[in-house]
Amino acid sequence: MLKKISLGALLLFAGWASMRFVFPHIDNLIGRNHLPSNMVIKRIQELSELATVRMLSEVVIPVRVENKVFGQTVGVTSYLYIVRGQVLAGVDLSQIGTSNVAVFGDKIEIQLPVPRILDAKVDVSRSEVVEYHKDWLAPDISPASAQQVQQRGLAAVVKQACENEVLALANRQATFTLSQLLGLTNQKVAVKTTKPETCKY
């Protein structure tokens, strides 16, 4: 029985060696899953959503409105407006094409497009006025004045998100998304990010 097993093992080894001699690339066909660049691009473009990050912000906007008569201030309305909002930033993976992907054997290199702010808004229902003060002859807050405060609040929310590096977070999220997407292959994935010149909305 031992001799039969040894002979069978020898024949199996000989057969495997012959296959490797006839098909020198068999190691690439068995136990590996190497994707060409066109398949990598197809997988990325099949993503149904952007690689995004959402950042919540809270800023305080001081507001002061004066009532003047002949150049003299006769009344002041002042308050603090606590603005709560959010900024959505991301990388549009649908922009990735042949110029963004390179495959070198077992390594995939991907160059990400520039991240950008996709949306920014103030949550009016969660924003509030505090420390409100109004003199006797002070003006009421007009709709136009309230709209200006909202615009200031939106700009402040975006500025805070930029200072907190929301675009850098978007780059990291895109890198993570692609690494997860292509992580089932045996290829090494190297994602290169693109640093934006400005952060604005």
Could you state, in order of their start, the residue ranges of all structural domains in the chain?
1-31, 33-192
The pLDDT tens digits for 50-78 are 678 999 999 999 999 888 888 888 888 99
Name the DSSP letter for residue 196.
-
CA distance 138 to 73: 9
pTM value?
A: 0.73
Q: At what angle do helices 143-163 and 166-181 cross, to 10 degrees?
A: 60
Distances from the Cα of 164 to the Cαs of 64, 77, 124, 158, in angstroms?
28, 32, 22, 10
The pLDDT tens digits for 135-162 are 888 788 777 788 899 999 999 999 999 9
Spatial neighbors of 130 by CB under 8 A, at least 6 apart, are 79, 80, 81, 82
Triad 11, 14, 18: Cα angle to 5°: 140
CA distance 49 to 92: 8
